[in-house]
Amino acid sequence: MLAASPAQAQREDQGLQLGCANDYFRLCAGVDPNSDDAERCMNRNRKRLSPECRAAIGDYDRRTGSKSMPDN
């Protein structure tokens, strides 16, 4: 189980908001950001995330001690 998904955490974390907003709109346009579908969309597209979003997720994970995205 994920400690906090990027989609879920993005609603609460400014670093993720800034780092992943473009990816969210590029990859998950039309998906309600407050839904479980947003988490699934970001996870499904994790290999297509920009370096900025990946860095924001890594920073979030280091700050919170979590693992936001599965490795595969």
51, two tokens = 């370096």
65: alpha, beta or left? (left if phi > 0; alpha if psi -120 to 50): left
58, two tokens = 């890594």
The CA distance from 34 to 61, in Å, is 20
**Do the beta carbons of residue 53 and residue 19 sit within 8 Å?**
yes
pLDDT digits (tens, 9 = 90+) for 11-46: 678 888 889 999 999 999 999 988 889 888 988 999
pLDDT digits (tens, 9 = 90+) for 1-11: 344 555 566 56
